[in-house]
Amino acid sequence: MDARQKWDRIYSKSCVEEPAACWVLSEYAYLLPESGRAVDVASGRGGNALLLAGAGLQTTAIDISSVGLEQLQSSAQKRSLDIRIRAESLSSSSLSEGQWDVIVVSNYLQRDLFAGLEVALRPGGLLYYETFVKNKTDESVGPGNPEFLLDDNELLNAIPNLKVRVFIDLQNTGKTDKGCRNRSCLVAQKPLSK
């Protein structure tokens, strides 16, 4: 079964919960610009896209699963939001150069996209990235395959030309029942000029 079939099947199972934005986008939504173009990368059912469009950004969602994207369209219509959808498999050329004021990636790791994320941002644009780490405190969450899990501090160094505004990678330090565990989170900004 390929990725599209796998995710179409997952999203086809009945789901009553409304999709929610990832933690780092919800928590730091106050950093968003008041207007501009935003993209939710590997959006799934589009919790991030719904937040971005609701914040007044012209929003696109990209995902391989047309079932997930149909569910996003239905959620957007219910909220009278306009979200452009693109059903495609992500590659390094999926995001055009200098187009986006905001890029969000959550719960998805495709390392060959990292360099393209920087190029795709407009100067001053923001990248929100949140996904699972290898050193989870709860093994039952996120992928089991280490290929899809971040190393300690990997996200901090993944896109070196961006300026880090927020970085969280608690690993298993201290009281592991507190704080954002199992995931690492980044908000980073493309400099206005190099």
Site residues (vs ligand SAM, CB under 6 A): 3, 7, 22, 42-44, 47, 63-65, 68, 89-90, 106-108
Shortest CB 100 distance to ligand SAM, Å: 16
Residues 6+ apart with CB under 8 A from 155: 129, 131, 167, 169, 184, 185, 186
Closest contact distance (angstroms) between CB of 108 and ligand SAM is 5
Secondary structure element (H or E) that encloses residue 105, with its range: strand 100-106
Cα separation, 92 vs 160, whole angstroms:
17
For ligand SAM, give the closer residue by CB, 21 or 170.
Answer: 21
Q: Which amino acid is at 55?
A: A
Residue number, 105 or 170, with CB nearest to ligand SAM: 105
Q: Give the Cα separation of 96 and 8 in Å (integer).
A: 26
Residue 90 or 170 having the CB closest to ligand SAM: 90
Write down how long the chain is.
194
In the complex, the smallest distance separating the C-beta of residue 193 from ligand SAM, rounded to whole angstroms, is 31
For ligand SAM, which is the closer residue by CB, 47 or 116?
47
Alpha-carbon span 82 to 57, nearest angstrom = 10
Chain residue whose CB lies nearest ligand SAM = 44
CB of 3 to ligand SAM, least distance (A): 4
Instruction: Give min distance, CB of 52 to ligand SAM, in A.
Output: 12
Look at residue 33 and give its three-state secondary structure: coil
Which residue type is seen at 110?
A: Q
**In this complex, which beta carbon is closest to ligand SAM, that of residue 3 or of residue 15?**
3
